[in-house]
Amino acid sequence: MGEDHVLADLELACQTLKVQLGHDQIAAVGYCMGGRLVLTVAGQAKVKAGGSYYGVGLEQLLPTLPELTAPSLVYMAERLMMQKRLKYREAGLVV
């Protein structure tokens, strides 16, 4: 199953929750590939907030996210991301 199929499933889940809950205040949290997917849906404004833990491929994804991306907590392993951390901080993506 490709990333596009999983993103379609996430969008359907968000739409279903919005109907069932009667509001659109939906957040998503993901780990590993799920962390990448959460940031993708946050970038598409499909959720109101996101949490990404050890998301994969973020070095390619983060610079492409639009300015109106939903507020998201991005947790990265410091030793793995140390070299890219300053670049993200300068871009306003990591505190």
The confidence score (pLDDT) of residue 79 equals 60
The confidence score (pLDDT) of residue 4 equals 83
What is the phi-psi region of residue 22: left when phi exceeds 0, alpha when psi lies from -120 to 50, beta otherwise?
left
DSSP states along the chain: --HHHHHHHHHHHHHHHHHHHTS---EEEEETHHHHHHHHHHHTTSSSEEEEES-TTHHHHGGGS-TTPPPEEEE--HHHHHHHHHHHHHTTS--
Domain locations along the chain: 3-90
The confidence score (pLDDT) of residue 39 equals 93
CATH superfamily of 3-90: Alpha/Beta hydrolase fold, catalytic domain (3.40.50.1820)
Quickly tell me which residue has 């907590």 as its tokens. 73
Q: What is the pLDDT along the chain (95 residues), one digit of tens a residue?
A: 678 888 889 889 999 999 999 999 999 999 999 999 999 999 988 899 999 999 998 888 888 988 888 999 988 876 655 556 666 666 666 55
